[in-house]
């Protein structure tokens, strides 16, 4: 199975890294937009462990990228790219983290409660029903459940959203189930943030002020750990800047400026 997509023609000096884990294709709209001006590689992480995905990403970049590349990572993909840049500094020219997950566990405490407070009652009921179905061993194909849950999360995570387009997304419950506990353990232990001590490239974090993942959970830990770090807060923006009516243009302006720098 091919674990990458190409937008434009070689050389590929930029790669977009999707979230999830198990959200392959999520960054396709960003790749499509950027490919009007430059070629973009879109790795699709399919390995069934976190470090396996790090190695998988390394192989895709080495095989198809013009090294070192600039990585534009979203959500969980920020953790993946963070560790890759630490372990293989020669592969990464610059790291752009878009609406990253938080890097220390205490900052994650209120994410779900914030999301649930924003949901309409009907959406909360749907979420509860989906969570019960995840626990049902008789339901073997849970990818559809992931898609339904992501749509509910999207509405709660967004400030003023455009329609949620999932036609390129390949959700995988199996990947999520196997990879996320490993990442969660790294964050709880502090080892995830420790990888930052070995990152040599510039790192820029772009974060929505309406994202339920608190901005300080990215800005504070990384500003104390990284040698070259900048933080940009996007107003009127949730977890998916490219789907935000009032932040989309500003988001792409920032990206294009950072890619040109």
pLDDT computed for residue 209 by the predictor: 98
pLDDT computed for residue 164 by the predictor: 86
Per-residue pLDDT, averaged over 148-160, amounts to: 95
| Token representation of residue 1 | 């199975």
Residue pair 57/80 in contact (Cβ under 8 Å)? The answer is yes
pLDDT computed for residue 228 by the predictor: 98
Q: Where are the domains of the chain?
A: 4-111+151-260
Whole-angstrom Cα distance, residue 257 to residue 260? 5
pLDDT computed for residue 8 by the predictor: 95
Whole-angstrom Cα distance, residue 16 to residue 44? 9
- CB-CB neighbours of 129 under 10 Å: 11
The secondary structure element, H or E, covering residue 176 is: helix 173-189
Summarize the chain as % helix, strand, coil (round to 5): 50, 15, 35
pLDDT computed for residue 124 by the predictor: 94
In this model, does residue 261 exceed pLDDT 70? no
- Tell me the pairing of strands 69-74 and 170-171: unpaired
Terminal CA-CA length for the chain: 35
pLDDT computed for residue 165 by the predictor: 81
Among candidate residues 200, 204, 205, 222, the one with its CA nearest the CA of residue 261: 204
Whole-model pTM? 0.96
Segment 215-254, tens digit of pLDDT: 999 999 999 999 999 999 999 999 999 999 999 999 999 9
Segment 68-90, tens digit of pLDDT: 999 999 999 999 999 999 999 99
Segment 4-33, tens digit of pLDDT: 999 999 999 999 999 999 999 999 999 999
pLDDT computed for residue 26 by the predictor: 94
| Token representation of residue 157 | 């995570």
Specify the higher pLDDT residue, 166 or 159.
Answer: 159
Range 4-111+151-260 classified under CATH 3.40.50.1820:
yes
Residue pair 69/15 in contact (Cβ under 8 Å)? The answer is yes
Specify the higher pLDDT residue, 197 or 164.
Answer: 197
Whole-angstrom Cα distance, residue 195 to residue 189? 12
Segment 182-213, tens digit of pLDDT: 999 999 999 999 999 999 999 999 999 999 99
pLDDT computed for residue 97 by the predictor: 98
Segment 94-152, tens digit of pLDDT: 999 999 999 999 999 999 999 999 999 999 999 999 989 988 888 888 898 998 999 99
């Amino acid at each position: 199975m091919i674990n990458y997509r190409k937008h434009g023609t070689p050389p590929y000096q930029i790669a977009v890294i999707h979230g999830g884990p198990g959200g392959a294709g999520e960054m396709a709209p960003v790749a499509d937009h950027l490919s009007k001006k430059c070629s973009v590689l879109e790795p699709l992480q399919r390995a069934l462990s976190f470090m396996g995905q790090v190695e998988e990403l390394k192989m895709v970049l080495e095989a198809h990228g013009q090294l070192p590349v600039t990585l534009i990572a979203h959500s969980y993909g920020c953790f993946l790219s963070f560790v890759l840049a630490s372990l293989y500094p020669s592969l990464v020219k610059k790291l752009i983290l878009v609406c990253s997950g938080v890097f220390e566990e205490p900052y994650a405490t209120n994410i779900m409660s914030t999301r649930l407070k924003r949901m309409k009652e009907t959406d909360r009921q749907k979420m509860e029903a989906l969570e019960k179905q995840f626990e049902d061993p008789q339901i073997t194909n849970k990818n559809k459940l992931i898609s339904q849950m992501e749509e509910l999360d999207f509405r709660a995570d967004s400030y003023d959203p455009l329609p949620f387009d999932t036609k390129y997304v390949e959700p995988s419950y199996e990947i999520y189930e196997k990879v996320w506990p490993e990442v969660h353990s790294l964050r709880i232990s502090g080892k995830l943030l420790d990888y930052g001590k070995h990152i040599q490239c510039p790192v820029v974090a772009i974060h929505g002020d309406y994202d339920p993942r608190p901005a300080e959970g990215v800005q504070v830990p990384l500003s104390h750990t990284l040698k070259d770090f900048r933080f940009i807060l996007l107003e009127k923006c949730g977890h998916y800047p490219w789907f935000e009516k009032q932040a989309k243009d500003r988001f792409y302006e920032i990206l294009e400026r950072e890619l040109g720098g």
